[in-house]
Structure formats: C-alpha cells, structure tokens
Structure 1
Amino acid sequence: MGITARGAGLLVAAVVLLAAGFRFAYPELTLLGVAAAGAVGYALLVALWRPRLEVTRRADPDRVSRGEPARMVLTVRNAGRLRAANLLAEDRCGDRTVPVPVLRLRPGRDTTVDYDVPTDRRGVVPVGPLRVTRRDPLGLVALARSYSAVVPVWVHPRIHPLTAVPTGAGRSLDGRVDGVPQGSITFDSLREYVVGDELRRVHWRTSARVGELMVRENVDTSLPRIVVLLDNRATAHPGRDPESFESACEAAASVVAAALRADLPVSLLLVAPEGLTTPEGPAGEAAGAGIGPLDRLAAARLDTGDATAALRAAATRLRRDRLGDTLVFLTGPGGRGELGHLGALRGAYPSVVVGVFGATEPAPAGATGIVVVDAADGAAFAAEWDGVRRW
C-alpha cells in the first residue's frame, strides 16, 4: 500500500487543522481537519477492496528462434458477484510493461488482451505477473497487487541448416576404434519391468535375487555420440555485449538441431555450468526443471568466474566420463590461446572440432588431429562445417 503525495499532504493538513482547531478553539478548523481525515480514511477503505480476478495467460508459441514472432494472450476475468472492476493494470514483459485495460468489467465477464513478446535477442523472457493498481477517486491512496505467476518465453538462438553430421566411431572390446556402419548392441544397465517389455530381455538371475522382474537395457554403441561444449566464460568473449558469444550459441544450436534431426545422441555442456539464467516464479521454476538443450542455450549467459579453473574442470570431466566420440568446442577470440587443453582429450574423443568466433586472425591448430574452424558468425560456421571432410 502506498499513499500518494496528495494523500500525504492532505493527511498532514488534517493533523495541523485538528491540532490548531483544538488548541485555539476554532470549530471551523476542527471541522476542516475532520473532513480531511475522513477523506483519507475513505481512500484507505476504497483501496483496500480486493477485486476477485482470475488471470490466465498463454504464450503462442512459448519457444521461438531469435527474430521469430511470439505473442502473449492474457485473459482477465472478474470472479466477483457484486461489483464491477474498474482498475489500472499493467503486465510485465521482460524489461517493459504493457498496459492492460480493466474498465467496467462486470461480474462474470472477462476481457482478453494479446501483445507481441520481444524476440530480437536470445534469452528467457519472463512475462508476468499482472500488476493491478487500485486507486480511490480522489487519488489519495494507491494499492498494487500481483496476479498470476510468471510464464517464460524461450527465445532460442538462430539455427543454420547443417547437412554434414559426424559419422562417429565405435569401440570394439579389444580397444580398437573403428568407424562402424552397422549396429552393435551392448549391455548398459538393469531396470524394473514395465508392461510392454519383451520377456526375452528379462534378466532372470537378478529377478530371482531381488524378488521382482528386472529387464536388461542395451545401447547401440555404433551410433555416433556428439558432445557440444559451449565456452561461456567472459574472458573468452571480451567486450560489452559480445557478438562472438551469440554466434557461438547459434553454432551450438545448429549442431544440436542437426544431430536431433538425424536421430543421433547429443549432449550440450557449458564450460561454466552456473552461467544459466532461470525463469522467475513457480511457473518458471517448473518449466526450468526439464529444459532441453535449446532451452539451455536460450538461458546461457557469460560467467565471470575463474576462467582457467572452469576450463580445466570441464576438460577433466570430459576426459573422465567420455561422454561421446565427437567433441565440438565453441569459443570466442579470448579462447584462441587455450586450445592446448583440448589436445589431452584426443585419446577420449577420436574427433575434435573447434569453432572460434570473432577472431581477427586464424586460430592455432592447438594439437594434431583437431579440426579448427574460424568463423565470423553462425552462418559462416555452418558453411565451414559442411566443408569439413575429415572428422
């Protein structure tokens, strides 16, 4: 609740008039003081009335690529039974506010407002809550309340079509690494039986020991597994609002989309995992619980932590876990001199591709067997990527 400047002035005047009226026995001043105090009290009662509003919102769509249109449809319903709602309301959309007219909204009726969501920049645009301001007719008191939760709109990086996809490598049991054109099934883990599983996949010995049916999970080791490592360190992308980071995000989105289109396993990692923004509010937290790789790219931001320690930790994890057979590392001009850290990963990843964005001169190869792609932006990276003949 907030009292306006007019209300504060009238309240001070009421106190002064009442004090002067009682002190000097002027009934006229006392009457004016009572009237002023009564006006402030009436304003408080009017502002305290809480309208019963039901607010629903729908993003159409809630996930778009940068530059594509997106709209927010907002419906406000007066759930009260007696009074019409005549309010000032505004909806938050990112860094701006959108006026929402709620004028003479009778009980049981609703009004719908739709507006464009800005998608000119990659990121997560929080939309909401609806802020309703209740004022008295004299403008003495203003009370603002929030309705509905925050709904995120995910603005993904632009995706540039890639025609080439790494063929991958399959590891045989004797340690050799070969390109495998056809599948080989390898045991991965055990899980509980669910309706629809084939009985020939039941592991009877384990089932007898634990007392319930357990089923073998197999994986196709011949499928190429692609790991995309996005360098989100601020030192790798110097400058204010660097375009090199946006280009790296576009390249990462393009590689991820190409892998998913080819039904290939793909993982997206950030050098500094804490460099992620999360939507605000319960709805945003629920949406952020199961976000995909493109959503993570939308939420990625530059991290200002210890750059060297972050890169070493990422390289250690990649070498220890061996998450795939093709590693794609995307960095900016500030990461040109640190490509040597990737040389130690050649034993774990047969194919290593490095994309450097925004560099003024060609990047060093870093290590034998590493493919280095210098590109000005995401579109140039896509053209260079399709021209690679050796993975």
Structure 2
Amino acid sequence: MGLVTGRGWGLAVSGALMFVLGYWLDYTEPATVGGAAVTAFVVALLVAGWRPKLTVTRSVEPERVERGQSCRVALSVRNDGRFRAVSMVAYDSIDDVRVAVPLQRVRPRKEAVVEYDVPTHRRGVFTLGPLTVGRRDPLGLVKLSRSYGDTGTVWVHPVVHPLYTSPQGVARSMDGQFDRVEHGSLTFHALREYVIGDDLRHVHWRTSARIGELMMRENVDTSLPRVVVLLDDRRGSYRGEGFETACDAAASIIVAALREGLSIALALTSGAVVAAGGRDDYLDALAEARPNEDENALNDTVVRLRHQRLGDTLIYLTGSGRPLETPQLASLRGGHPALLAAVLGPDNPGHTTVSGIPVLGAADGAEFVAAWHGAGAW
C-alpha cells in the first residue's frame, strides 16, 4: 500500500508547475528548481518503492490463554537480500489494533527476532498479523507499506474459577458418578457400517440382510449423568460485565464437570451447541461467544432442548437485565429433572427459589464461586 504525503504532493505539483512555466517563459532558474523538485519526487518513489526480500516467521505462546494471562508473540524477520541492509518501520496487527514492532537494521542474510505481549484483557478470538513493513524516503515525500508472513490466532478464554464440587443436583450413579435421575442401562442409539475389530454380537442382522452389508448397533449407557450448561447470549439479558461473568461461570462449571468425568453439553440460546470434545473445544466456543440481538432466542432454544434432550441436569446462566423467564425453564423440567438457574451481574436476586427452581445470584466470578459452593442439593 502506497501513500504520497502532503509534502510529497506539494513538492511534485509545485515543482512541475515551476518547470513548465520556467521552460515556457524561458526562465532558467525556476525551470531548474522545478526539475530538481520533480527529480527528487521520482527518486523518493524509487527509494520507498524498493521491496526488500524478507521472510517472516511467527510463533505464539500459548495460543490459548485465560483472560488476563500472559501471551507472547515472537517474530523472526530474515533479510534474504544479498547486498543491502534493510532499515524499516514495522507494525503487527491484533484484529484492527496496530502494535509497533521495534525492528532495527537487518543486514543481508541475517535475522532479527522481536517479541511483544498480546493484550489479553478481553475474551475473544483474535487474528494476529500479517506483519506490515513500512518504508519512506529520507525527505518524507512517499510512504509505502507491504505485508509479510502469515497470520496467527489467539483464543482468549474466559477465566476458570476453581469449583471443588461437581453439580450438586445429581445423585450417585452405578459407576460412582452423580445422577439424580434413574435410567436404564444400555439403549440403542444408531446404526453404522462394520469396521474390522467390531464385535459380531452387535450386528443388526435384519438391516444387514436388507442392504447387503454388515451394519452394527451402537448403544449408549443412559445410566451415566449428563449436564447441560445453557448460556443466555441475548444482549438485553445483561448489565455491565454480566455477560463476561456468565462466560466465566460456564467455563468453570464445564471444567469442573470434565474433571469429574461427567458428560457435559454447552448450548447457547443463539443456537450453538458443543456436546462432545475436550476442554479446549468448550472454551473455544465460549471465547467465540458474542451477545446477539435475537430476543426470541430462548423460546426457540427451549423448543429444541425439549426435543433433543441433551442431558438430565440443566444449568441456566443468564443476566440481571431482565426478570428470570421461569415459564420457559419450567417447561424443560420433564426432560431435565435437575434444574438450576444463575442470575449474574449487578442487582441480582441473590440465592432464592423461583417457581420451584433454585436460583443463584452473583455480581462477579468470585461471588459465583461462593454461591456455588454454598448451594445445597437441588
């Protein structure tokens, strides 16, 4: 990307006028000065327009970090030119924010490494780079910038507060985990194609005979508990930093449940669902979460959950920006007998019960941890 500065335009235009008028009126001095000015402008274009041969390598450590923790970028800039050293002004970008990169003079076939800290005070997914290298002539007439290297990504996760207990709404299952809901044992889930090593006792012979290839029954153990964290991501539900507190609470519950070996699903009222995976899969989804404007999202999500039934224990996280919508939550009790709501942000109702639903109130993450640990079975 190139840019002629105001000084450059002034010199070029005035020089051209002086040269034309001087030549036309046969005044040697103005024509000479004008010609020199135009020549200086052309030389500035050539100097700033020279493209150095650079190889830029980026490393980010760590790529995933909790909000407020340290994250550092290292940029290795190698001058692949054979004869000229490169002096440059460089900056990196973090989404739309520029970060100055203090690159010094890089000699031919040499490499310079610079590092800088990524600001992690905001939760989110941030794109780093590419590195932009700017050049300008000594007179400041022309500025040119070019991009080098690839981009990187940093996931800034919510803060995970230590929860020392798994969700209290569940009682112990046959495997030593907790589940207040009584279920059967193994139940049919789906059919799939046979792969080498499958137990032939699980072949579904009727379907196999009909389609001409072996089909296997897949069963699931319904005695194992499953927790659903439903995060309200409607903008109108929150005040202040309430949504960030809700994301922190969701992350804390998920990590605690995974530590206890519980199956867990994360659902957002906007429709996103993470029903399996490791810790990073859930926390990445929370890093990507943004408040949305769909005020009917909860109604649509409730209908979907009643049909899908992602789990038996449901924890609803919302903000203090609107009254708790208990009719919608109560309609989920048939499929999710263990139900808990948390209202997060300023002016929350505190620890109470609304229409038979236990409610925790907390202004921030620390209060949520205290409320969680202080809550009895529900």
Q: Normalising by the residue count of structure 2, what TM-score does the alignment of the two structures yield?
A: 0.87
The reply to whether residue 299 of structure 1 matches residue 288 of structure 2 is: yes
Is the 1:59–1:73 contact (alpha carbons within 8 Å) kept by the matching residues of 2?
yes
Name whichever of 376-385 and 260-269 sits farther off.
Answer: 376-385
- Percent of aligned pairs with the same amino acid: 51
Counterpart-to-counterpart distance in 2, 1:159 and 1:131: 35
**1:44/1:383 Cα in 2 relative to 1: closer, same or farther (>3 Å)?**
same
Q: 1:383 aligns with which of 362, 370, 377?
A: 370
**SS of residue paired to 1:252:** helix
**1:16/1:232 Cα in 2 relative to 1: closer, same or farther (>3 Å)?**
same
**1:376/1:99 Cα in 2 relative to 1: closer, same or farther (>3 Å)?**
closer
**SS of residue paired to 2:228:** strand
Q: Deviations over 1:257-282 (max 9, x none)?
A: 111112222111222348xxxxxxxx
In the TM superposition, residue 327 of structure 1 has moved relative to its aligned partner by 1.0
In the TM superposition, residue 295 of structure 1 has moved relative to its aligned partner by 1.3
1:18 corresponds to which residue? 19
In the TM superposition, residue 210 of structure 1 has moved relative to its aligned partner by 4.1
1:63 corresponds to which residue? 64
In the TM superposition, residue 313 of structure 1 has moved relative to its aligned partner by 1.1
2:358 corresponds to which residue? 371
**1:101/1:334 Cα in 2 relative to 1: closer, same or farther (>3 Å)?**
closer
**SS of residue paired to 2:261:** coil
**1:84/1:218 Cα in 2 relative to 1: closer, same or farther (>3 Å)?**
farther
Q: Deviations over 1:331-360 (max 9, x none)?
A: 111232423221111112111110011353
Q: Normalising by the residue count of structure 1, what TM-score does the alignment of the two structures yield?
A: 0.84
1:228 corresponds to which residue? 229
**1:31/1:249 Cα in 2 relative to 1: closer, same or farther (>3 Å)?**
same
Is the 1:67–1:120 contact (alpha carbons within 8 Å) kept by the matching residues of 2?
yes
Letter paired with 2:326: L
Counterpart-to-counterpart distance in 2, 1:61 and 1:196: 39
- Segments of 5+ residues of structure 1 without an aligned counterpart are 172-176, 275-289
Counterpart-to-counterpart distance in 2, 1:220 and 1:248: 31
Is the 1:244–1:377 contact (alpha carbons within 8 Å) kept by the matching residues of 2?
yes
Counterpart-to-counterpart distance in 1, 2:245 and 2:94: 25
Counterpart-to-counterpart distance in 2, 1:191 and 1:59: 41
**SS of residue paired to 1:105:** coil
In the TM superposition, residue 199 of structure 1 has moved relative to its aligned partner by 4.4
2:162 corresponds to which residue? 161
**SS of residue paired to 1:14:** helix
In the TM superposition, residue 55 of structure 1 has moved relative to its aligned partner by 1.6
Q: 1:265 aligns with which of 239, 243, 263?
A: 263
Counterpart-to-counterpart distance in 2, 1:201 and 1:34: 90
In the TM superposition, residue 205 of structure 1 has moved relative to its aligned partner by 4.7
Is the 1:232–1:301 contact (alpha carbons within 8 Å) kept by the matching residues of 2?
yes
Counterpart-to-counterpart distance in 2, 1:385 and 1:23: 88
1:245 corresponds to which residue? 243
2:336 corresponds to which residue? 349
Pairing of 1:1-391 with structure 2 (within 5 A): 1-93=2-94, 96-166=97-167, 168=170, 179-180=181-182, 184-207=185-208, 209-238=210-239, 242-273=240-271, 292-303=281-292, 305-307=293-295, 309-360=296-347, 362=349, 365-368=353-356, 370-391=357-378
Counterpart-to-counterpart distance in 1, 2:101 and 2:196: 50
**1:97/1:359 Cα in 2 relative to 1: closer, same or farther (>3 Å)?**
closer
Is the 2:76–2:111 contact (alpha carbons within 8 Å) kept by the matching residues of 1?
yes
Letter paired with 2:269: V
Letter paired with 2:268: L
Letter paired with 2:108: P
Is the 1:46–1:135 contact (alpha carbons within 8 Å) kept by the matching residues of 2?
yes
Letter paired with 2:290: R
Counterpart-to-counterpart distance in 2, 1:8 and 1:211: 78
Q: RMSD across aligned C-alpha pairs, in angstroms?
A: 2.7
**SS of residue paired to 1:163:** coil
**SS of residue paired to 1:98:** strand
Is the 1:343–1:366 contact (alpha carbons within 8 Å) kept by the matching residues of 2?
no
Counterpart-to-counterpart distance in 1, 2:271 and 2:8: 50
**SS of residue paired to 1:259:** helix
